[in-house]
Amino acid sequence: MDNASTLLIEIGTEELPPKSLKRLADSFADTLAQKLMAAQLIETADQVARYAAPRRLAVSVNQVAQRQPDQQLERRGPAVKAAWDEAGAPTKATLGFARSCGVEPQDLETLSTDKGEWLTYRNLQPGKMAVDLVPTMVLEAVRQLPIDRRMRWGAGDGEFVRPVHWLVALLGSEVVDFDLFGIRSGRNSRGHRFHANHDICLADADSYLGALRDAHVVADYAERQDLIVAQAETLAKGVGGSVVLEPALLDEVTSLVEWPQAVLGNFDDEFLQVPAEALIASMGDHQKYFHLLDDEQRLLAHFITISNLDSPDSSLIVAGNQRVLRARLADAQFFWENDCKRSLRQLAAGLSAVVFQQKLGTLADKSERLTRLLKVILTAVDSELDVQLSEDAAVLCKADLLSDMVGEFPALQGMMGQYYGRADGLDDAVGEAIREHYLPRFAGDELPKTVLGAALALADRVDTLVGIFAIGAIPSGDKDPFGLRRAALGVLRIQLEFGLDLQLFPLLEEAVAGLPEALQDNALAGRVNNFVSDRYRGYAESAGYAHDEIEAVLAVKPSRLLDAQGRLQAVQQFRSNPAAASLAAANKRVANILNKSAENVTGDVDAELLVEPEEQVLYQALQVCEQAVLPIIADRDYLAVCQQLAGLREVVDGFFDAVMVMADDKQLRDNRLALLRQMRELFLQVADFSCLQG
Amino acid sequence: MSLPLWQTLPVRWVLLDRDGVINHDSSEYVRSADQWRPIDGSIEAMARLYAAGCKLAVVTNQSGIGRNYYGRSELFAMHRKMATLLARQGAQVEAVLFCPHLADADCDCRKPAAGMLHRVMNCFGFSADQAVLVGDAERDLAAAAEVDINGVRVGDAGDYPTLAEWVDRLLGITQ
């Protein structure tokens, strides 16, 4: 296109919130792309490049048409037959249509199709100029930005995420003239806050990136991030380590600098006595520093910070950062040493003063309930763990919440408990369980690896679920202040993925029995169980199981989740068996017949009353199948069971083709119903196949 | 590695007479599961057929029921015993069909009539050229001929002394 040029929009602001910079840039670019495409000024969203730096959001769009294509308008009116009356005058319909198009009836054209002739209005609307369309689009895209809290500044009444100071809008080399928050658009951008804090005049839109680079700004977010990664990795290699670039921290740092310069600093070796997690939290959370590990994943006494400056003397920057970090690490060291003066048991004594939830008592009460539940769980899974270990784990698991370190860095809960337990000389299994009982912390997080940890994690979640349900704070809509959905998902994953194989319902009943008496309620365990089952539906669906497969399994109310999962896998596999559809249909048919039959089908099949060959064959096949199936049911080899059941297809079909179930003779009829009930019960050993759709 | 039987031969179904082929017959009739004793090697032979990809069905005259010597329950108990023995070898029969009628009942199922063969072919959807019937009596072969199924006679008067030998021959285990 000859008449196409690059469009540049840059909104210059004060420093944007680093944690939402990327989201803002994406939203701005996506909305604008969508609007430009809708107006036919560009062809694809690929033409839109997005830029984001601490003080600017920008898009550059190549090949933007100067003018929209002309819009051919065609409207169809009444049929020609109904357009003119006998006298040849326009009918009411014609007059109305012509008026709505703003023309006289005789100016309307006639459109002939194979279905007849219609009056038509055709009009060529000339396309509008891009410079006229762009301002509205930009204002609209700005209005749609996902901003949690808007600010007002100066005397104007504009509201934005941060005060806006300049606005660049260029189409090719021409300024697109409009106002945003009282700022007039122009061609002046600004350079780096310290290196080039002055106007940068852009000759045209295409010169944007280069001009900014000359002014010490890397406007491209991805490019800046790549620079940071490359620089950090080079520095780390220089000291024989590797740098840990945790994605959230990396994004945050990328959003904080316009001109990244990675700098390596050191700290005193003596700090390495403090648990690495605490040092890493000090460096990452507070200072936005990256930490380094050696080949064996041990923390090195170095850090990497990304400065926003080209300094002729980087040793000044290094010294400054080291001084700040030293103070931080000294704090962490103080917390550590201070916490170590008290044993976990001493800390735990303070739990009776910390309220977990008003009606549910203190953390000490919770620990007591956990002790009880943990015992039940370990018994249920036939664990041979020392009772003393499990009691220690339950009583001490919340103790580190009272340590100074966790007070400063809440994310270290559990981890510090493990360290303090080790310092107290507790068994490693206890410390491991204290750390692991917080897992999984979020969807997709790692799971406990030890049985004690998994059991304690399960106990904690079950206690929270049952307790919070008891006080009526049940999640609704998007309100889930106690994170019960997450807790339920944890309950599922610990059973299914860790493999803690137990019956959930009795455990929930135990948990109810441990609540304060005023909160106990007969229906409570059932309600929590349903809540967890609902989460299981979602869990299984996202794992690729179909809705009807899940319902077929839940219909037989498996008492163990692992067992349910085994059935579900088998049912899904069974589906691909050619026999599945016909057996599902047969089950549906049998379920209907049994539901409708007035007689209560309770008796056993009387073999002497089987007169038709097809019912004899079915009866014998069922007997053989039962014999084959019952031992493998006990082993929960549901796949093998399904294969056996699939073998019944022909005899079941043969039965329905040849045998009249609702025979006139009551004896024969009852006997056939009994035969069908026997068949249905055999299938129900795995799942309710009548739930399967087509 | 030889091909499975059903790929080298058209035979996918082996229909078996019961008394005198799978188990020892008795002039007093076989009346209970205890009395039902397999002929040496017959269960293993059926298992070999099954392992080679053949499906098995039993078609048997049981006029003992019509004579009230024993009931269907006893008959099913015998077949459970057979199924259990087969299951130990990893095999199974797809169906057991029997005719309970007396010779003079004029039914369509008692061999040499072919009613049971029709039924099993309909139920499992195979054709005559995919099947072979093994029996020990002339009426078994007559029933087979009625529906154009190849018949094999085993026993003292037959082409092979036992089911096992015919199976060995079919599968090429011995000359």
**Would you place residue B2 in the very low, low, confident or very high pLDDT band (cuts 50, 70, 90)?**
very low
Contact A628 B92 (CB under 8 A): yes
pLDDT tens digits, one per residue of A505-525: 999 999 999 999 999 988 999
Closest-CA residue to A457 (of A415, A484, A494): A494
Question: Predicted confidence band at A71 (pLDDT cuts at 50, 70, 90)?
Answer: confident
Q: Which residue of B has its CA nearest to A629?
A: B87
Outline where A341-450 has alpha helix (H): 344-349, 363-380, 387-396, 404-408, 415-423, 428-436
Q: Of the candidates A286, A321, A340, which is a domain's last residue? A: A340
**Alpha carbon A326 to its chain's center:** 38
Give the domain-ending residue among A87, A102, A125: A125
In a domain, A607, yes or no: yes
Alpha-carbon distance of B24 to A594, in angstroms, equals 42
Residue B3: predicted pLDDT? 46
Q: Is residue A674 part of a domain?
A: yes
Provide the pLDDT for residue B6.
Answer: 45
Nearest to A65 by CA among A91, A34, A39, A27: A39
Partners of B116 on chain A (C-beta within 8 Å) are: 613
Is B79's Cβ below 8 Å from some Cβ in A? yes
Size of interface A-B (CB pairs under 8 A): 65
A-chain residues near B73 (CB < 8 A): 607-608
Least confident of A150-164, A242-256, B12-26: A150-164
Phi-psi region of A154 (alpha: psi -120 to 50; beta: other; left: phi over 0): left
Domains of chain B: residue spans and CATH: 13-171 (3.40.50.1000)
Determine the average pLDDT of the residues in B11-28: 93
Instruction: Write out the residue range of the structural domain in which residue A201 sits.
Output: 4-68+129-214
Q: Name which of B72, B87, B94 is nearest A627 (Cβ-Cβ).
A: B87
Please report the pLDDT score of residue B68 as a whole number.
92
Q: Which tops the pLDDT comparison, A94 or A23? A: A23
**Considering the domain boundaries, does residue A483 fall inside one?**
yes
Q: At what angle do helices A649-658 and A613-634 cross, to 10 degrees?
A: 150
A196 found inside a domain: yes
Is A186 touching B (CB cutoff 8 A)? no
| Whether residues A463 and A419 fall in one domain | yes
Is the complex ipTM more than 0.85? no
- Kindly report the pTM of this predicted structure: 0.73
* B4 touching chain A per CB within 8 A: no
**Helices of type H across B55-162:** 63-66, 72-88, 115-124, 138-146
Same domain, A153 and A60: yes
Tell me what pLDDT residue A444 has. Answer: 87
Measured CA to CA, the distance from residue B160 to residue A584 in angstroms comes to: 44
Do both A372 and A333 map to the same domain? no
CATH value at residue A643: 1.10.730.10
Distance (Å, rounded) from C-alpha A206 to C-alpha A198?
20
Is B19 annotated in the active site?
yes
Nearest CA in chain B to A653: B123
Residues A514 and A586 occupy one common structural domain: no
| Cα B56 to Cα B137: distance, rounded to the nearest angstrom | 19
Looking at the structure, tell me whether residues A616 and A667 fall in a common domain. yes
Domain membership of residue A553 (yes or no) is no
Specify the pairing of strand B55-61 against strand A183-184: unpaired
Is residue A488 one of the residues assigned to a domain?
yes
A87-146 pLDDT, tens digit each: 878 888 888 888 888 888 777 888 888 878 888 888 888 888 999 999 999 999 999 998
Please tell me the predicted confidence (pLDDT) of residue B174: 54
Note the pLDDT tens digit of each residue in A187-207: 999 999 888 889 999 999 999
The per-residue pLDDT for range A246-286, each reduced to its tens digit, is: 999 999 999 999 999 999 999 999 999 999 999 999 998 88
B148 is catalytic: no
Q: Does the pLDDT at position A579 exceed 70?
A: yes
Residue A649 near residue A615 (C-beta atoms within 8 A): no
The tokens for B151 are 């018949």
DSSP element (H, E) containing A93: helix A92-101
Lowest mean pLDDT among A311-320, A507-516, A655-664: A311-320
Q: Please check whether residues A313 and A276 belong to one and the same domain.
A: yes
Check whether residue A365 and residue A489 sit in a common domain. yes
**β-pairing verdict for A159-160 and A242-243:** unpaired
Query: pLDDT class for A598, splitting at 50, 70, 90?
Result: low
The per-residue pLDDT of chain A, averaged, comes to 91
Mean pLDDT value of segment A424-434: 95
Q: Are residues A64 and A75 in the same domain?
A: no
Per-residue CA distances from A443 to A23, A267, A398, A498 (Å): 21, 35, 22, 15
- The pLDDT value given to residue A2: 54
Say if residue A333's pLDDT is above 90: yes
CA distance A629 to chain B (A): 11
Residue A391 scores a pLDDT above 80: yes
pLDDT (tens digit, 9 = 90+) per residue, A633-648? 888 899 999 988 988 9
User: Residue-wise over A576-587: b if at least 16 C-beta within 10 A, else e?
Assistant: ebebbebbbbbb
Mutate to test the interface with B, among A617, A626, A656 (most CBs of B within 10 A): A617
Is the pLDDT at B4 greater than 50? The verdict is no
A48 and A76 co-located in one domain: no
Task: Flag whether residue B97 sits within 8 Å of chain A, measured between CB atoms.
Answer: yes
Residues from chain B that touch A613, judged by Cβ atoms under 8 A, are 97-98, 109, 116, 119
Spell out which residues of chain A touch residue B84, defining contact as CB-CB under 8 Å: 627
* pLDDT tens, position by position, A455-476: 999 999 999 999 999 998 888 8
Residue A73: pLDDT band with limits 50, 70, 90: confident
For residue A555, being part of any structural domain is answered with no
Which among A617, A628, A657 has CB closest to B97? A617
pLDDT (tens digit, 9 = 90+) per residue, B105-142? 888 899 999 999 999 998 888 999 899 999 999 999 99
β strands within A47-155, DSSP E: 48-53, 56-65, 71-79, 109-113, 116-125, 151-152
Partners of A290 in beta bridges: A304
Q: Kindly state whether residue A142 falls inside one of the protein's structural domains.
A: yes
pLDDT of residue B10: 64
Tell which of A179, A214, A249 closes a domain.
Answer: A214
DSSP assignment of A130-183 equals HHHHHHHHHHHHHHTS--SS-EE-SSS--EESS-EEEEEEEETTEEP--EETTE
Beta carbons of A623 and B125 less than 8 Å apart: no
Asked if A21 and A105 sit in the same domain, the reply is no
Q: What's the domain count of chain A?
A: 5
A39 and A185 inside one domain: yes
Rounded CA-CA distance A35/A20 in Å is: 23
Residues of B whose CB is below 8 A from A651: 94-95, 123
A289 and A240 in a single domain? The answer is yes
